[in-house]
Structure formats: structure tokens, C-alpha cells
Structure 1
Amino acid sequence: MSVLFIGNSYTYANDLPNMTRQLAESAGKQLTVGSKTNGGYTFQNHTNDPLTWAAMHQQNWDVVVLQAQSQEPSFPDDQVDTGTVPFAKQLADSVAAINPCSNVMYYMTWGRENGDPQWAPISTFAGMNDRLYNAYMRMADTTESMVAAVGATWKYVRDNYPAIQLYVADGSHPSVAGSYLVACTFYTSLFQAPVTGATYTAGLDPQTVLQLQNAADLVILDSLDHFKLHPIDEPVQAHFTATNNNPDVQFTNTSIREDQVNWEFGDGNTSALENPNHIYAGNGTYIVTLVASNGCASDTISQEVIVQVNALDELAEAGIIFREFNDRFEVQTTTKPIYYEIYSLEGKFIISDKILTYDLQVIMKNQKNGIILLKNEHEIFLRKPFIKS
């Protein structure tokens, strides 16, 4: 696995990239690392630096790690929205454009030992750490990227092993123990495997090593989905949701890092639309399959959809008589007035009218196909596609 670290002094302190490499190798993993780090650099600084772009183009990195300046994601939301997130997105989008097989992983940093006094919400460790956590998760959501949640493991160690000094004297940068915790967090995030048992110690005592390794395992491995962590060789992740309106189902693609989708609806029909709406001709259980892909990889996911349209006996229980012919429908209600509505198969409204009690309503099929709804103010009794032969 190859990893490029883009960041600043929180990355180059104690040579974090090589510490991570040595930790991985001691656990039997092969890791090649590179870095582009400048003290105090923000995401905007990196987007404007030709050397950052040169590092990204240096080889086909499996993972590009992005670390913001240590304070910027904790600032007020409007400042982060304009001064941080757009440049985080620009960098992440560029990684994918350079190599669609690459993955982006944000390096979530930690609150300062006693917070940052320049703004009340971040004037404590807890307040600053929470804002950093939320900002990095938001950036990951925005850019469909993974997160190495160092801020979360850092808090765990502070809460459970307060004797371990994670900071140097400035109360901001990591001590050797702090950087070792970061390396452990990257190991569990990159490999999605326990780091406990790795023999590289960075000169720390065995008890501290074990405690830091355990912290990374406990915090990260229980929350892989939450931190959007997936196998590095699977950059595309297929996901979708289905909203069932019986008999039409709205499918929404929520895949990660794809640029092409192909749907199979389980009834012989297919689509290449991003978010298709599909109308099923009859009741049943259908297995819907989505294949999401880009120029590098593909992923497949299947989901069961159950379609149940009101049967004629259920309509009769509601006091509705419904008959379908080749060119028309005949509808009669024996209890209270109802309405009919006609839509195209694409969902475009065509016509509607009221059906009075005991009136026999003849509804002509004036188009080749569509959907008919029978409803009142409170419920839909029938939603049925039709095809005029």
C-alpha cells in the first residue's frame, strides 16, 4: 500500500509518515509513504502550491491523507464553509481526477491541551476537539472520503490514560507518544485490522505502547462504517435507498466514488439513470441490483423490494367497484365520494376528477400507458399502472 501525507507540522512532527510505515512493517504489512508538509499550511495553501500538486502526481497513490491547519476546522461554521471546506473538496476531487483508484483519508486532528482562548466554543480541549471532529466528518461527507479519527482516539486516551503525555510543552504538537497514537490510528484506519501486537515501539515503554494500541483498536474498529472506512482496494462503494410507493419505487443512488450506475429491477427491466423511478406491473418480491463503477473499480449491491398493490377484494371492502377494460376503466363507489387521477409512467399529471357516491364513472384510456390512482383526502386505495393495447 502506498500513502501520501499532505499536511503540516502535525504530520512532520516525529516523522509521522515513517513512524506509520515502521509500525505497519512490524505487523507484517507493506507500506510505502511520501509526504508534502509545510508548517502552518492550510488546505488553501496546499491548493496554491505547485509542489503539492507535483507530489500528488508523483505516483498512483493508494491513499492520499489530507490534514488541515490545526485550528482552521474548529473556527465558526461560516468561516469553515468559505475558508476550509471548498479547498478540502478541491484537493479531494483532484485526487480522484488524477487517479480514480486513489482514496482520500482526512487526518482528523485533536484539540489543544487547554483549548484555544481566541474563541469561547474552543477555549477548552473538549470544545475544540468536538468542533474539529464535526468539521472533519462534514468534510468527509461532502467529499465521499474516509477519516482517520485521531481526535477520537486522542480523547479516549486523555479520558482513560491521563498519565500518558500526548503533547509537547506547547500544548499543541504531539509528543512521541502522541505521534505513536496517531500512527496506531492510521494503521487501524488503513488496514481495518487490529494494531495490537505490532512490535515497533518508537522507544516507548511496553505498557504505554499497549495502551495506545488498544485505544486505536477500540475506537476505530468498532466504528468502521461511521468513519467511512472501507478496504483500500475497493474505492467504489455501492449503496442505494428505495422509497416504495406501490407499485412505483423511487431508487436513490448513494454510492461513493462512482461515475456510472446500472440498475436491474428484478422484473427484467434495467436503467442507467442516477436515481430512477420504476413502476412494477404486479405484486411480488423483487431483487434490485445496483452496479456502481468508475474507471478503476466496481461494486455491486442487491436489495429486496416488496410490491403490494391493493387487490380487488380490498377495494370492495372499501366500497369501491373497479373494472378495467382495454380502452377504459369503470369505477363506482358505494360509501363516499372519491377521486381518480391519471399520471404518465414518468409521473407527469394528466387529469383528475371526482367520483360521486353511486355514480358509475367511465374513465377512458386516452394515452397508451400511465398510472391510475383512486383516493380520498386521507388515503390511496389503488395505484395501478396500465398499458393500452
Structure 2
Amino acid sequence: MRKPALITLLGLLGLLTILLLWFIGKDFLAEKALEQPAHARMLFIGNSFTNNNELDQLVASLASELGPEWNEIYATRVAPAGYRWIDHLHDTENETAESPLRQLLVTGSDAARDWDLVVLQEQSQILGFGAQSPETAESRSAAAQLNQYAQNTGATVMLMLTWGYANGDPRNATLYPDYATMQFNITQGTYDLANQLSASGNPVFVIPAGRGFQLVYRDLANDAQDPLATNSLFRQLYAEDGQHPSLAGSYLAACIVVAAYTGESVADIEWQPRDLDGQYAEYLRSVADRVVFGAEFPPQPYPWSAQR
């Protein structure tokens, strides 16, 4: 009479064993994926501006077409919506919760923490608030500490210059009344921070993604077109909210990441997402090259500058 109960117990034990093995195997596979060797290992730390359209994977797909020395790229991201650098710093330093970022920067295996490039992308308004802003002070302090964690892995650290909102920011209308003013303010704040971080240690570089948006805006204005018109090439860089990047906006940002980090032209790369118009993609790649290698913006240092 006890056999059914025994069979049931054995069945439950078997199921628990299978589940345990599955979880162990899942974690093992995840750890091995993080340890994957590559010609370049890239970690993107940000929020929805990075997460939308999987910026890290766009970068990997583009960079892998540069030639044999770049054909194996491992890129990943830690980019929860709404996150600021101070939130990422908390996750990195919280010893009671082994967050993914803490593992990637502090407690993981040597192979899992072996980064060639770490990209830091701040919440999209903060860096333009000005040096006297409490939010800016908090952001800069968090950036300095995240930079140190990243530098400790041996990585090159680059700050992501993001883009102004297409119509400015109505929540900060005095500071950000329109696109051009917002772009100017966050550009100044980002470069000021890079200079500050570089002065205290190893150089920290800037990925001028926002300048790509600025150049598209400028091209249209110079051609007597309204950059803010519905479906303009500039407006197509944004999602419907006028803040987050569309696929085109993320593609442009990814092209600029690749050019800024590698020092290689992206103009002749053929890869593009299937849902992106080919002629538009070609134009965006040319914009990326103009931003990084052209003379339309003040010169800036890049990781490869000393080698040229």
C-alpha cells in the first residue's frame, strides 16, 4: 500500500534533481558565456538609451566586419530602464546582493572581468545640469568610482555623449528649451567630466554619439529643410517620444562607437539591420565618419590617437 507514496516521493526527488542540475548548468553556461574570449570584449553600462535596440549587439555586428582582427567581438550590457550611474555604483558595491554588474566588475572570474572597453552612459538629462547641480555632483562622484572599477579590469573607459531630446525637455524648459540648447549643455557636461576623470588617472575618452545627431540636424538646416519636420532624417533618429533612439538612432550611435573606439572607418561596412533603409544606413555611416575623423567638430582624443 505504500508503493504509490514511495513512487511519488522518488518522482519528486527526481524532479528536484533535474531542476537543480538545470539551474547549475544554466549558471555554468552563463558564466562561461561571460568568459568567452574574443578579439575585443565590450561592456556597456547605461539605461534604456543603451538597452533599446540592443546597442551592444549593433556594435558587435558592425565591428566584426572591420577585418580579421575584429571578427570576434563579445559585447554585453547592463542597462535597466531609468538607471543612473549612482544606481549602477550601488549595485557594484552592494555585497549583500551579487548583482550582474558586481560580478562583471568585481567578483567574477578573471576571464569574466577581462574587458577591453567599458562604456558608461548616464541618465540623459543629468550631465547638462551644470557643475553646481546636486545631481551633477552625485553623477560625477559615481562616475569617478565606476571608472576606477572599470580601469581595474584593464579596460579602456569611454563616456557616451548622448543626444538632446528632439523638442527639448519640457520638465526642464529653462535649461533645455529646445534640441540645440540641450545638446550643447549635455555635450559641455560630458566633455568636462571626461577631462576631470582623465586628470586624476588614466585617460577617459568620449564617444560623441550626440554629435552624430547634431550633424544630421545641421545637414538638414544647411539644406534649408526643417530638421524637426515629421519623418525628417533627423526626426527618424528618435522613437515616438522624441527622446529614446529609434533603430536608426541606435545604428548611428553604434557606428560612432565603432569608429571612436577602433579608429577604423565605418563608411564601407555593409552590415545593417534588416528594418533599416539601405540608403539611410549608408548616410548614417558617413555621418559617423565625419564626426570622428572629420573637421566639423573640435578635435578630441581617442584611444587610438597616439598611434596616428
What is the TM-score of this pair, normalised by structure 2?
0.71
Q: Which moved more, 1:152-161 or 1:65-74?
A: 152-161
Distance 1:56 1:222, change over 3 A: farther
In structure 2, C-alpha distance between the alignment counterparts of 1:24 and 1:103, rounded to whole Å: 16
Partner of 2:143: 88
Larger RCO (CA within 8 A; separation ≥ 6): 2
- Structure (1 or 2) with the larger CA radius of gyration: 1
Is structure 2 residue 52 aligned with structure 1 residue 2? no
Structure 1 residue 104 corresponds to structure 2 residue 157: yes
- Equivalent in the alignment of 1:63: 117
What amino acid maps onto 1:133 in structure 2?
A: T
**Does the residue aligned with 1:20 lie in a helix, a strand or coil?**
helix
CA distance in 1, matches of 2:75, 2:47: 15
Q: Is the 8 A contact 2:140 2:193 kept in 1?
A: yes
The separation in 1 between residues aligned to 2:278 and 2:128, in whole angstroms, is 34
Of Structure 1 and Structure 2, which has the larger fraction of its residues in strand? 1
Which residue number in structure 1 is paired with residue 209 of structure 2? 150
Partner Cα distance (1:110, 1:216) in 2? 14
**C-alpha distance after superposition, 1:270-316 (max 9, x if no partner):** xxxxxxxxxxxxxxxxxxxxxxxxxxxxx9xxxxxxxxxxxxxxxxx
The runs of at least 4 consecutive aligned structure 1 residues that moved more than 6 Å come to none
Kindly state the Cα deviation for residue 53 of structure 1 after the two structures are TM-superposed: 2.4
Amino acid at match of 1:177: A
How big is each residue's C-alpha offset from its partner over 1:310-334, in whole Å with a ceiling of 9 and x where there is no partner? xxxxxxxxxxxxxxxxxxxxxxxxx
Q: Per the alignment, in what secondary structure is the counterpart of residue 34 of structure 1?
A: strand
User: Counterpart in 1 of 2:291?
Assistant: 219
Match of 2:267 among 196, 213, 223: 196
Deviation at residue 170 of structure 1 after TM alignment = 0.6
Is the aligned partner of 1:20 residue 2:59?
yes
Q: For 1:83 and 1:199, how far apart are their aligned partners in 2?
A: 41
Deviation at 1:174, TM superposition (A): 0.5
What CA distance in whole angstroms lies between the structure 1 residues aligned with 2:170 and 2:298? 34
Residue identity (%): 29
Q: Does 1:140 align with 2:194?
A: yes
| Counterpart selection for 1:117 from 170, 173, 182 | 170
- Compute the displacement of 1:148 (Å): 0.4
Paired position in structure 2 for 1:229: 302
Aligned partners of 2:91 and 2:299: how far apart in 1? 32
1:177 alignment partner in structure 2: 248
Q: Which of 185, 208, 232 matches 2:280?
A: 208
What is the distance in 1 between the residues matched to 2:78 and 2:171? 29
CA contact (8 A) 1:27 1:197 kept: no
CA RMSD in angstroms, aligned pairs only = 2.0
SS at match of 1:122: coil
Give, in whole Å, the separation in 2 of the partners of 1:230 and 1:27. Answer: 17
Q: CA deviation at 1:26?
A: 2.7
Distance 1:225 1:193, change over 3 A: farther
Q: How does 1:1-389 map to 2 (within 5 A)?
A: 1-28=40-67, 29-30=70-71, 31-50=73-92, 51=99, 52-57=101-106, 58-79=112-133, 80-96=135-151, 98-99=152-153, 101-119=154-172, 120-144=174-198, 145-161=204-220, 162=227, 163-164=232-233, 165-203=236-274, 204-222=276-294, 226-231=299-304
Deviation of 1:81 after TM superposition, in Å, equals: 4.0
Report the CA distance between 1:226 and its aligned residue: 3.4
Q: Is the 8 A contact 2:83 2:123 kept in 1?
A: yes
Residues 59 and 212 (structure 1), Cα distance of their counterparts in 2 relative to 1, 3 Å cut: same
Unaligned runs of 5+ in 2: 1-39, 93-98, 107-111, 199-203, 221-226
C-alpha distance in 2 between matches for 1:5 and 1:89: 16
Matched to 1:46, the amino acid is H
Q: Which amino acid aligns with 1:15?
A: E
User: 1:93 touches 1:143 (CA, 8 Å); kept in 2?
Assistant: no
Structure (1/2) with the larger helix percentage: 2
